[in-house]
Amino acid sequence: MTSPPGAVDALLARAHALEGQIQRRILGQPSVVRELLVTLLAGGHALVRGVPGLAKTLLARSLAEATHLSFKRVQFTPDLLPSDITGSEVLDEVDGRRLLRFLPGPVFVHLLLADEINRTAPKTQAALLEAMAEHQVTVGGTSHRLPEPFCVVATQNPIEQEGTYPLPEAQLDRFLLCIRVDYPAEQDEVRVLQATTGAPADRLEPVLEAQELLQLQRLVREVAVAESLVKDVARLVRSSRPGTAGAAPASAPVAWGAGPRGGQALLLAAKARALLAGRFAASAEDVRALALPVLRHRLVLEWSAAAEGVDADGVVQALLDASGL
């Protein structure tokens, strides 16, 4: 690590304090909170999938409330236009002259909540693609940089498909993790009911500055990974591609496997998880813990897979078991 040990310890303490603050609000979902923090520290974007009422929107709001990051929410609807997200040029009159002035959209923010992202047309979904990939938007031939750090947290309802537009694979690949939010356990649901039907909860305390998050993101890049583990990750990703050298039998239901960006995402996420645990070298355990959220949205299954009861999680788990990781 290039940073002094004391400074690193202080930054990690801030990250753990952030996790604790969010868990005050999001009860019984420690893995979901940890995966969101992994996404943030790795400098990526998160797609949060879950049925209505599982606090997906509250998760993003709690993250913003517990940091000093600027935050905006966009409710995606069928009539939303690309300019409603990126911004547009307006005609202004200055000193008797008419000039075009760029009016920034809600994407110019540290943390953007794209709520129900699959409910808007592909053209509007694609408006986010440049922002997610390049951290900039281009309007009227001029590029405008977004503030750093920049993170998109998009929510999606996986069971209701009427009136929705599936995200294109190119955009799905830009999400570092696809975080699955399940129903809470019974005792956790009791705690949720008690906490949300009584007196209003106290506000969360902001514990992390934007500059501190940027420092943590740089530290993640410095976490060591053994060459053997890098090769294991490459073999795992390559095993998801049917009809290619190194494909595993478990890839039979897959039409298109994960690309190299899947391996990059898995290594970066493993580094971020190791750093959150106070370790400065990623391990096979980190890879195993994050293989599902990294790869589940990067596999395109054959149409027949659904009829046979096969889903992406099952395929990824089978690939992971066969890899020996």
Q: Is residue 149 part of a domain?
A: yes
In sequence order, the 6+-apart residues with CB closer than 8 A to the CB of 188 are 27, 28, 29
Q: Note whether 299 and 240 are within 8 A (CB).
A: yes
Find the CATH number of the domain harbouring 238: 1.10.8.80
Quick one: pLDDT at residue 1? 59
- Parent domain of 259: 223-325
Find the CATH number of the domain harbouring 152: 3.40.50.300
The number of distinct structural domains making up the chain is: 2
Assess whether the previous peptide bond of 147 is cis (omega < 30° from 0): no
Chain Cα centroid distance, residue 213:
15
Are both 228 and 178 inside the same structural domain?
no
pTM (two decimals):
0.92
Are both 214 and 274 inside the same structural domain?
no
Best CA proximity match to 176, nearest among 53, 10, 299, 42: 42
Q: Note whether 307 and 265 are within 8 A (CB).
A: no
| β-pair partners for 139 | 142
C-alpha–C-alpha distance, residues 36 and 26, integer Å? 12
Are both 93 and 236 inside the same structural domain?
no
Are both 215 and 249 inside the same structural domain?
no
Q: Is residue 135 part of a domain?
A: yes
C-alpha–C-alpha distance, residues 109 and 129, integer Å? 15
Are both 235 and 274 inside the same structural domain?
yes
Number of residues in the chain: 325
Give 32-58 as a DSSP string.
Answer: HHHHHHHHHHTT--EEEE--TTSSHHH
Q: Is residue 196 part of a domain?
A: no
Are both 288 and 213 inside the same structural domain?
no
Quick one: pLDDT at residue 163? 65
Q: Note whether 130 and 138 are within 8 A (CB).
A: yes
Are both 254 and 215 inside the same structural domain?
no
Q: Is residue 78 part of a domain?
A: yes
Q: Note whether 163 and 118 are within 8 A (CB).
A: no
The SS3 of residue 28 is coil
Q: Is residue 202 part of a domain?
A: no
Q: Note whether 252 and 243 are within 8 A (CB).
A: no
In three-state form (DSSP H/G/I as H, E/B as E, the rest C), the secondary structure along 202-230 is CCCCCCCCHHHHHHHHHHHHHCECCHHHH
Q: Is residue 200 part of a domain?
A: no
**CA geometry: angle 56, 321, 269, nearest 5 deg:** 45
Q: Is residue 201 part of a domain?
A: no
Q: Is residue 192 part of a domain?
A: no
Are both 36 and 164 inside the same structural domain?
yes
**Kind of pairing, strands 111-115 and 151-156?**
parallel
In sequence order, the 6+-apart residues with CB closer than 8 A to the CB of 265 are 42, 44, 176, 177, 294
- pLDDT by residue for the chain (325 residues), tens digit each? 566 777 899 999 999 999 999 999 999 999 999 999 999 999 999 999 998 888 999 999 999 999 999 999 999 989 999 999 999 888 877 777 887 888 899 999 999 999 999 888 888 888 888 899 999 998 888 889 999 999 999 999 877 766 678 888 888 899 999 999 999 999 999 999 998 888 887 889 999 999 999 999 999 999 999 999 999 999 999 999 998 988 999 899 999 999 999 999 999 999 999 999 999 999 999 999 999 999 999 999 998 887 888 899 999 999 999 988 8
Are both 101 and 230 inside the same structural domain?
no
Are both 96 and 244 inside the same structural domain?
no
Are both 161 and 260 inside the same structural domain?
no
Are both 174 and 302 inside the same structural domain?
no
